[in-house]
Structure 1
Amino acid sequence: MSIVIRDVREHELDSVLALNNNAGSAILPLDSARLRDFYENAEYFRVAERDGNLAGFLVGFGSDADHDSSNFAWFKARYPNFFYIDRIVVASRRRGGGVGRAFYADVQSYAELRYPQLCCEVFLDHGADPALLFHGSFGFHEAGQNVMANVDVRASMMTKELCSYPWVHATYGDDLPDLPWVGRPRQSQPRDSRATGT
């Protein structure tokens, strides 16, 4: 069956919270208030659906966001314009089935029209080799490391240049064409008309 990537729906937040908090030590836990903040403020908050079931989610923020993550702040202190993947979670039964790759293809398609760089982190203290290899296969490289003081977790800070951005920006500036597959940043639209990524 195919994987569908689409914007999260409000009634799915409890399921997203359960997915996050059952993901293990490679993902920081969330509470419902923090997840609600993501829902209301994240530029990109999409879920994967496979065989009619929720298979994962990805949350991301542009560099101008008012986001209080220490890893986001690390990137903000070094790069003027970027898109930050705050977290990606794939249900354990779906790992290795292409859901993560579908998310990264979708988020890159979204980000490369708006930002020159894609950023994320991989926690290094919990068997990071599969995640590092996954990100490396997508063209990410380590730009440094950060120890998250509030949780004492060391992270590999990863970046990827988005090679389409210079041409898109030189051609369209901030006025992207109104095409269904281009979509619009979540904050500039009513929730029911936000980008679908299709």
Structure 2
Amino acid sequence: MSKDRLPIERVSPAAEAAILALNNEHAAELSWLEPERLSFLIGQAFYTRRIGALEAFIMCFDQNARYDSPNFLWFRERYPRFVYVDRVVVAAEARGRGHARRLYEDLFDHARRAGHTIVTCEVNADPPNPASDAFHAAL
């Protein structure tokens, strides 16, 4: 890893305040979270990682999560095993550095090692997010 390429790290409780702030800056595209809800979701997550102090983060659940999202539940009703990417966020000042791609590549490796063959995500259509659409289409 080059010295200017920040490592991908597990999310620790110490990072939750920064994750909450970044998440809630993008509540229109994601959903607003209260601190207690974020802590619960992190506890349920199959994979949650960050880059830097908080240039980017990703949160994913597997089929065993106690998560009430209708979109997540749709997958659980149809697939015995899967990984669901619930949210991936890159801070505005950190965009264009490849953080989201690196997080996905690390997730794919982690999922493969855990025996998963399905990784899925929700990409919101309302409100439109053309940057996210283009990124996910290129994966």
Q: TM-score, normalised by structure 2?
A: 0.90
Question: In the alignment, is the contact (CA less than 8 A) between 2:41 and 2:67 conserved in 1?
Answer: no
**Counterparts of 1:87 and 1:26 in 2: how far apart (Å)?**
9
**Counterparts of 2:22 and 2:131 in 1: how far apart (Å)?**
19
Could you tell me which residue of structure 2 aligns to residue 29 of structure 1? Answer: 32
Could you tell me which residue of structure 1 aligns to residue 96 of structure 2? Answer: 96
Could you tell me which residue of structure 2 aligns to residue 115 of structure 1? Answer: 116
Q: Which runs of 5+ in 2 are unaligned?
A: none
The one-letter amino acid paired with 1:28 is S
**Counterparts of 1:82 and 1:17 in 2: how far apart (Å)?**
25
Q: Secondary structure at the residue paired with 1:45?
A: strand
| RMSD, matched Cα | 1.3
Task: State percent identity of aligned pairs.
Answer: 34
Q: Which runs of 5+ in 1 are unaligned?
A: 139-198
Count of residue pairs brought into register by the alignment: 135
Larger radius of gyration: 1
**Counterparts of 2:54 and 2:5 in 1: how far apart (Å)?**
13
CA deviation map 1:97-152 (0-9, x unaligned): 111111111111111222110011011012232212211211xxxxxxxxxxxxxx
The one-letter amino acid paired with 2:91 is A
Bigger helix fraction? 2
Question: In the alignment, is the contact (CA less than 8 A) between 1:3 and 1:99 conserved in 2?
Answer: no
CA deviation map 1:53-97 (0-9, x unaligned): 321111111112222111100111222211111111111111121
Bigger strand fraction? 1
Q: TM-score, normalised by structure 1?
A: 0.64
Shift in Å at residue 20 of structure 1? 0.4
**Counterparts of 1:115 and 1:134 in 2: how far apart (Å)?**
22
Could you tell me which residue of structure 2 aligns to residue 46 of structure 1? Answer: 49
